[in-house]
C-alpha cells in the first residue's frame, strides 16, 4: 500500500496536466491532438513567408523613396543620402539585434540615392530607360540565382566561400585604387579606370562590372543559404529582418553594377 501522501487525485493513473499544472480532461486532450500543428508564427520562429514579406516591404520603401530622387535630383542630397545609407548599413550590420526602424531609414536613404543616380546616368550618358533596363536585369538575375539554388545545382560550399572571399577583397582593392585615380590621377572620366582603360577594345569597367555581377550573384547564393539554415534551425522571427536587409543590400549592389555597365557602354558610343 502506498503512502497516504499519494492518495490524492494527482497521482491517479491516467492523470494529465497542462503547462500550468491544471488537470486536463480526456476531451480536452483529444482536442489538443486534433488541432493543427503550430506554425512558425505561433512559435515565434523565422519563416520563408515572413522573410519574403519583409524583403518585399523594404524593396517597396526603396522604390517609393527613389521617386523624389529621380524626379528632383540634387547632387548634394544624393551624395548625402548615400553617406547616410552607408553609415546606417554599418550600424545595422554590427548591431546585435536587427532594428526595423533603422532598416526603414536605410531603405529611404538608399532609395533616394538610387533615384538620383538613375537620373544622372540617363541624362549625362543619354540613355533613356537605363533605370528600367537595370531593374529588369536585377530582377532576372535574382530569379535565375534563386532557381539555381533551389535546384541544388549551386550551393554555398567551402570552395565557393573561399573564391567569393578572394573576389570580394580583389574588388575592394580595385575600388580603392580606382577612387584614388579619380581623385589624384587627373582623370576626367566619371568612372576612372573603368572607362579610361580598355582590354581588347572592351572597357575595363565592363569587365570589372561583369565580375562584380558574378560576385553579387554569389552573395545572393550565400544569402539564400543563410535564410535556409536559419529557418531550419528555428531562428527567432527577428532574424527575418536581418535576412531581408541582406537581400536588399545585395540587390542594390546588383542594380548599381548593371546601371554602371549600361552607362560605360553608352559612353563609348
4-8, 29-33, 39-43, 229-233 — which one is most confidently predicted on average?
229-233
What backbone torsions phi and psi does residue 6 show, to the nearest 5 degrees?
-95, 15
- Reported as a single tens digit per residue, the pLDDT across 87-103 is 999 999 998 888 999 99
Count of CB atoms situated within 10 Å of the CB of 150: 11
DSSP count for the chain of H helices, then E strands: 10, 2
- The enclosing H or E element of 218 equals helix 204-232
pLDDT at 269: 57
Domain ranges of the chain: 4-28, 45-267
CB-based contact 234:242 (threshold 8 Å)? no
pLDDT of 196 strictly over 60: yes
Cα 131 to Cα 26, 43, 72, 79, 82, distances in angstroms: 64, 41, 15, 18, 17
Q: What is the DSSP letter of 203?
A: E
pTM score: 0.81
pLDDT at 8: 40
pLDDT of 27 strictly over 80: no
pLDDT at 268: 59
Q: What is the mean pLDDT of residues 219-237?
A: 92
- Reduced to 3 states (helix: H, G, I; strand: E, B; else coil), residue 236 is strand
- CA atoms of 167 and 161, how far apart (whole Å): 10
The grid coordinates of residue 161 equal 566561400
Work out the mean pLDDT of the chain and round it to a whole number: 84
pLDDT of 46 strictly over 60: yes
Amino acid at each position: 500500500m502506498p503512502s497516504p501522501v499519494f492518495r490524492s487525485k494527482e497521482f491517479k493513473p491516467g492523470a494529465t496536466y497542462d503547462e500550468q499544472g491544471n488537470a486536463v480532461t480526456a476531451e480536452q486532450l483529444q482536442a489538443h491532438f486534433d488541432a493543427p500543428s503550430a506554425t512558425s508564427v505561433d512559435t515565434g520562429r523565422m519563416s520563408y513567408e515572413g522573410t519574403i514579406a519583409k524583403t518585399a516591404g523594404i524593396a517597396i520603401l526603396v522604390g517609393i523613396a527613389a521617386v523624389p530622387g529621380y524626379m528632383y535630383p540634387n547632387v548634394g542630397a544624393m551624395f548625402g543620402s548615400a553617406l547616410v545609407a552607408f553609415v546606417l548599413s554599418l550600424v545595422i550590420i554590427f548591431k546585435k539585434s536587427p532594428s526595423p526602424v533603422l532598416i526603414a531609414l536605410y531603405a529611404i536613404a538608399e532609395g533616394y540615392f538610387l533615384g538620383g543616380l538613375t537620373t544622372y546616368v540617363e541624362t549625362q550618358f543619354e540613355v533613356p530607360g537605363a533605370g528600367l533596363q537595370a531593374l529588369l536585369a536585377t530582377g532576372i538575375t535574382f530569379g535565375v540565382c534563386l532557381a539555381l539554388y533551389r535546384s541544388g545545382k549551386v550551393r554555398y560550399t567551402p570552395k565557393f566561400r573561399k573564391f567569393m572571399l578572394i573576389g570580394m577583397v580583389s574588388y575592394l582593392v580595385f575600388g580603392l585604387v580606382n577612387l584614388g585615380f579619380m581623385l589624384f590621377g587627373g582623370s576626367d572620366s566619371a568612372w576612372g579606370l573603368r572607362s579610361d582603360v580598355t582590354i581588347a577594345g572592351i572597357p575595363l569597367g565592363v569587365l570589372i562590372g561583369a565580375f562584380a555581377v558574378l560576385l553579387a550573384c554569389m552573395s545572393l547564393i550565400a544569402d539564400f543559404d543563410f535564410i535556409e539554415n536559419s529557418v531550419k534551425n528555428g531562428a527567432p522571427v527577428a532574424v527575418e529582418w536581418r535576412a531581408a536587409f541582406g537581400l536588399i543590400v545585395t540587390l542594390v549592389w546588383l542594380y548599381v553594377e548593371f546601371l554602371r555597365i549600361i552607362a560605360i557602354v553608352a559612353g563609348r558610343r
